[in-house]
Amino acid sequence: MAKQLGEINASSQADIAFLLLVFFLVTTSMSVDQGLNRTLPPPPDPNQPENTDKINERNVFVVLINKDNQLAIESELSEIDILTDRTIEFLTNPRGAADLSEQVKASKKLEEAMAKGPNAKEDEIKNYRRLVTECGDPDISKGVVSLQNDRGTKYETYIAVQNAIVAAFNICRDKFSKEYFGGKTYDELSSEDQKVVKLAIPLNISEAEPRSVK
């Protein structure tokens, strides 16, 4: 007859589980991935002729970074600290200066969108209409920020400049949404409302095809 086995003491099980728990707590990282989202332009199509719609020079805000990490705004040597303010000024053009971006009424954009006929996007028309009716037909900037950098530019500087430009757009969007959407910031809006604000302040950053910058 088999010998009667005594009950195994399970009180150390808790200790073992604690050890495992501490191991997982230490080795895993809770960090979330975050960063600046960007969409690259599709590759240039050799069969297609170059884009012929000329953008008026006053609507282009040129930001250059050279290989010594110096910054030029509209071909004037400058500092990163003022880039955000300069970009906001360029986009909103508060005093209607002749060398800053042109503004178009949302109602005009709505007409343009509807004139596309069968190619018109339902969504776009709907949101432009909301802009006209709910937000008092605001001015939409035609401005494009053109960012050019050298191959020798430090990545850190490039990101700082990118960040300063995106900050300008975000500040404009926040201001717009606070004014017309009950004091909420852009991030707090529903995705439908965000689309409307996006149309009012489109994120137009263009990066030139790579070449070297003096």
Partner 1 sequence: MSKFRKSGGRKMAALSTASLPDIVFMLLFFFMSVTSMKETDYKVKIKLPQATEVKKLEKKSLVSYIYVGTPLAAHQAKYGSEPRIQLNDKISELFDIADYVESERSSRDESDAQQLTYSLKVDSDAKMGIVTDIKQELRKVQALKINYSTLKVERKGNY
- Footprint of partner 1 (CB under 8 A): 10-11, 13-14, 17-18, 20-21, 24-25, 27-30, 32-43, 84, 149-156, 158-160, 162-163, 166-167, 170-171, 210
Q: Are strands 205-207 and 144-149 parallel, antiparallel or unpaired?
A: parallel
Tokens of residue 197, six digits: 């604000």
- 19 Cβ contact list (under 8 Å, min separation 6): none
Residue 84 C-beta: closest distance to partner 1, Å: 8
Residue 202 burial (10 A CB sphere; 0-12, 13-18, 19+): middle
CA distance 161 to 155: 10
| Type of residue at 140 | I
Q: Which is nearer to partner 1, 35 or 96 (CB)?
A: 35
Residue 145 C-beta: closest distance to partner 1, Å: 14
Residue 91: how many CB atoms within 10 A of its CB?
24
Q: Which is nearer to partner 1, 32 or 98 (CB)?
A: 32
Q: Which is nearer to partner 1, 13 or 133 (CB)?
A: 13
Residue 20 C-beta: closest distance to partner 1, Å: 6
Q: Which is nearer to partner 1, 55 or 160 (CB)?
A: 160
Q: Which is nearer to partner 1, 129 or 154 (CB)?
A: 154
Residue 29 C-beta: closest distance to partner 1, Å: 6
Residue 206 C-beta: closest distance to partner 1, Å: 13
Neighbouring-strand partners of residue 149: 65
**Long-range contacts: 72-77, Cβ < 8 Å, 24+?**
none
